[in-house]
Amino acid sequence: MINRVIARVQTLFKRKPKRGGRDPKRISSREHGINGELVSRSALRVCETLQKAGHRAYIVGGAVRDLLLDIAPKDFDIATDATPEQIKSHFRRAFIIGRRFKLVHVMFGQETIEVSTFRALVNADRLIDEHGRVLSDNLYGEQNEDSARRDFTINALYYDPTTGDVLDYHEGVKDVRARRLRMIGEPADRYREDPVRMLRAVRFAAKLGFAIDEATREPIHRMAELIENVPAARLFDEMLKLLTSGHSVACITRLRAEGLHHGLLPLLDVILEQPAGERFVMLALSRTDERVRAGKSISPGYLFATLLWNDVLAKWNARLAKDEHRIPALNLAIDETIEAQTEKLAIQRRFVSDMREIWGLQPRFERRTGRSPFRLVEHLRFRAGYDFLLLRAAADEIPVEQGDWWTRFLHAGPDEREKLIEEAARGGSSTATTGKRRRRRRGGNGDGAPSAV
């Protein structure tokens, strides 16, 4: 205990004087009411370890915001006055990452705690591009400076799990209670520094049900084009967070309202302007939201396959209208869609592979005779392809009977499966096909949506 006190006193004497002059409001556990049981043991351990070594360390950002809302955070970030090298030296499994700003990932089994060093408010040496976007910034500073560097007031809160106090520099607790999203500093300047903040504003507002402060909201529409300057990989990460937030329908609706959906996913804005395409996309997103909120796993590959299916389908039908062979036509349509997509959004290769397989399985569901159904149910991606088929049926893209047949076949015993195949062979199902190539009818579902069946 004595060594800990001595170490902390030494750190205080070594510390640089404050810059900026802003002191935080200290809110006790009795005032803020955070439930300590919702705090990750790993995050607590990181804070305690760094504090015992003479450093300041706090849980910061979205985790504090969620704790104030009595929501169990999914991730915990730590902010400290220790440098990345000092942080790394205190943990057996710690890795320094990042170029724009160095971070440390501390690993505890399957859990990762992200630890950052307090950032300086003013850095004359930081690299920016011609649009004002920050490219590199590794100058460290004081906690009050770090708080001013964060995007929204609700994300600039520091919680010390060892004392129970929350440090609030920008009235963030007040904004949480008012359910208001407010930018720290001049919004236009902050969006110029990092255009992704516009997407984050939409995601937080939709996810939390917060209203965006008018001064924060006003520049978004006129500055939306700055998103074009964001690296594709980072844009993909932010888009994935948005779509897997459990509130993707609200996020997409808000994106469109703020004029931010154009260009995020090529042709997504076109899809959302077509009744059939919008119905399919929104149904897929609503089902994804249900799974996330129920704590079930989701597949990013499946999700992006649903978002881009309308484009694949339109290109496929266009080729079929030219009398091209069905499977080669589908493969070419997939290639065209993926190529257009990767120009803007860097979907990871493993997800692209899943998307291709899900799309490629759809024609195979039409073959319900012989041994084809037995081989299909053994396919590694059968379940994803089957769920995709049911989604198409629910969106009225294909007859419901086709999905029903596969549902019965999936749960049937050997004898019943043989009977189902015999029925399909006799034409007992209105959607049964023989697997032979047929000339497709255009606009087959009667409501303007192209049909692939």
- Is residue 384 within 8 A of residue 265, CB to CB? The reply is no
- How far the first Cα of the chain sits from its last, in Å, is 73
The token pair at 55 is 């450093």
> Of the residues 77, 146, 213, 311, which is catalytic?
77
**Among the listed residues 257, 246, 244, the one whose alpha carbon sits nearest the alpha carbon of residue 217:** 257
Of the candidates 387, 93, 158, which has an alpha carbon nearest to the alpha carbon of residue 104?
A: 93
* Consecutive H or E run containing 291: helix 275-293
Supply φ then ψ for residue 411, to 5 degrees: -100, 0
Known active-site residue 396: no
Provide the 10 A C-beta neighbour count for residue 12. 10
Q: At 443, list the tokens.
A: 């606009």
User: What Rg, from alpha-carbon coordinates, does the chain have?
Assistant: 26
Is residue 70 annotated as a catalytic residue, yes or no?
no
* Cβ–Cβ under 8 Å, residues 174 and 31: no
Beta strands in 138-293 (DSSP E): 157-159, 166-168, 180-181, 211-212
- As given in the structure block, the two tokens for residue 258 are 């703020």
Amino acid at 445: N
Tally the residues of the chain.
453
φ and ψ of 451, to 5 deg: -115, 135
Tally of CA atoms within 13 A in the half-sphere of 183 that contains its CB: 24
Instruction: Return the beta strands (E) in 52-151 as ranges.
Output: 57-60, 77-80, 94-97, 103-108, 111-117, 127-128, 134-136
Told to judge if 77 belongs to the known catalytic residues of this protein, a careful annotator would answer yes
> Looking up tokens 């198409």, which residue turns up?
392
* Among 66, 137, 146, 151, the one annotated catalytic: 151
Across the strands, what pairs with 26? 167
- Structure tokens that stand for 189 in this block: 């300047």
Helices first, then strands: H and E counts in the chain: 21, 12
Q: Which of 75, 269, 387, 396 is catalytic?
A: 75
Give the DSSP per-residue string, 164-200.
--EEESSSHHHHHHHTEE-BSS-HHHHHHH-THHHHH
Q: How far apart are CA 390 and CA 403, in angstroms?
A: 5
> Alpha-carbon distance 302 to 108, whole Å?
29
The set of catalytic residues is 75, 77, 151
